[in-house]
Amino acid sequence: MDKLRKEYMFAFDLVTTVMQTYAPNWETYSLIPRSDSESSCFTENVREAVKRTSDIQASHTASYAFDHWFKKQQINLENIKSLIQKVTVDFCMEEYNPVDFLEVCCLISELSALAYIYGVWAAPQYSIFCITHIMLYFQRCHQFTDSSWLDLDRCAQDLLLM
């Protein structure tokens, strides 16, 4: 699990940021303990970009996708996993782009937040898994490297200036 530390903590912080918008009292515990001296790849720029993206486009897209997907299906863990998995796989078929990555992570987090509101308590944890999977997939494809964390921060900063 130590090998996934940065990726998992990033996904955990991202999902937590989105979840607290929907359910301010939501809490979960990280599977990996965090030390006080540990620096996070989830920078303040990224946090603010996630909040802005969630407020603007991801929220609308997530609501539309959620309503469309669950028009004739029950809202349960199996079905939300199918939806989040589809978003994850579709994104992994594209070439890595930091802007798209942030948007997809926000979308996945928003979908899990909506599911959580409907009583699917495990949805946020599954979204953490999927976001971690996306990063690992692009690492294996050599499209997400150690310098990608800096690129992600710069991209988030640019999004905030728009």
pLDDT, position 142: 95
- C-alpha 32/C-alpha 92 separation (Å) is 25
pLDDT in tens, 2-47: 567 889 999 999 999 999 888 888 777 665 666 554 567 899 999 9
pLDDT, position 27: 77
Q: How many residues does the chain have?
A: 162
Residue 62 or residue 34, greater confidence = 62
Place of tokens 């959620």: 66
**The whole model's pTM is what?**
0.89
SS3 95: coil
DSSP H helices in the chain: 5-22, 44-53, 59-69, 77-92, 98-117, 123-140, 148-161
- C-alpha 17/C-alpha 23 separation (Å) is 10
Given a cut of 60, is residue 63 above it in pLDDT?
yes
Residue 33 or residue 69, greater confidence = 69
Of 127, 141, 150, whose CA–CA distance to 41 is shortest? Answer: 150
pLDDT, position 140: 95
